[in-house]
Amino acid sequence: MKRKCTFFPVLILLTGCFWALPQYAVNKETVQLLQQVSTMQQQLKDLQDGQTKSNAILQKLTEQILDQVTRLSASIDDIKKSNAQTQAAVSANVDSLKGNLQITQESLDELKARLTKLATDLAALKTTVQSIDSKIGSPAPTGVPAPGDAGQGAPPTGLATGTPPDSPDAIYASALSDYTSGRYKLALGEFQQYLRYYGTTPLAGNAQFYIGQIHFMQENYDDAISAFNVVVERYAEGTKVTQAIYKKGLAMEKLGQKTSAIKEFRALVNRYPNSPEAKLAAQELSKLGARSSGAAKSRTTPPRR
């Protein structure tokens, strides 16, 4: 009986220990899980902090890039404006050089005319001196009319009859001087007078060209075209043919005759490809949206005098 009383307390103690062991194991696993959760939460927080910092850096870089793009765009606009201004200035200088070149050419023509007149006057003076010496040395034969009598000599060479008002070089030099000075009305009359009396001289084609040029400057484009046609048709071997064709094309362009202007410019490029006016005609064709036609047999550019 005594042994039974001792057995039951031990059995109860063992049973309590048995039930306590699972409870202890569960609590340990819970603690481990909590620790793992806490670690994951800390890692997630670290990731969030890192993402926030990365976003801030990315935003800052984006702002810097946008600022650089804005500055670059402004620089490009400034470059475009500068290029446009430079192009306008170059174009203006080119136009000015063209005008100066034309004025220089016309001044050279005037100088040549004056030199020719001077040479003619010197030759006439020499002839007069020789004639005076001859008259002093021997009397005039009987029956020969004295100088200045009516009927002496042939009529002057030219397109008009009668005595011309002055020598050809004097008329041409005066007309060219008035032209370069802007006295177009006076110059027009003088060039026309030159052609009436001296329409077959080497400078006749030049005089005809300047008549067309005066009409062009006064915006009488139909009259200018007619005058330039005469240069091309009657004075084809002269020095102003290429300029006449080019100016004729410009006059047609001014009148809105685009097709005819293109035809003239193409003819100039194909017939006189090495002339300065051919380059100008090619530029006009480009402005009009046209191309030069196929290569044709080129002519030698007339010498400029």
Q: Provide the number of structural domains found in the chain.
A: 2
114 and 247 in a single domain? The answer is yes
Closest CA to 249 of 274, 221, 210: 221
* Cβ atoms 223, 249 nearer than 8 A: no
Shared domain check, 113 and 63: no
Same domain, 253 and 112: yes
Q: How many C-beta atoms surround the C-beta of residue 265 within 10 A?
A: 30
Instruction: Let me know: does 292 contact 285? Beta carbons within 8 Å.
Output: yes
Distances in whole angstroms, Cα of residue 289 to Cα of each of 172, 259, 284, 286, 294: 40, 11, 9, 5, 16
Q: Which CATH number do you get for residue 125?
A: 1.25.40.10
Band (181; pLDDT cuts 50, 70, 90):
very high
Q: Among 64-78, 206-220, 236-250, which is the least confidently predicted range?
A: 64-78
Residue 203 domain flag:
yes
Rounded-to-integer distance, Cα 203 and Cα 172, Å: 8
pLDDT at 150: 32
Highest mean pLDDT: which of 13-27, 109-123, 135-149, 226-240?
A: 226-240
Residue 37 within a domain:
yes
pLDDT in tens, 184-212: 999 999 999 999 999 999 999 999 999 99
pLDDT score at 110:
67
Do 249 and 119 share a domain, yes or no? yes
**Residue 9 maps to a domain:** no
Between 99 and 21, the more confident residue is 99
Structural domain harbouring 256: 105-133+159-287
For the CA atoms of 287, 291, 296, 300, the dihedral, rounded to the nearest 10 degrees, stands at 20
Average pLDDT, the chain: 78
Query: What φ, ψ does residue 29 adopt, rounded to 5°?
Result: -65, -35
172 and 56 in a common domain: no
For the stretch 135-170, pLDDT in tens is 443 343 333 333 333 333 333 334 555 566 678 999
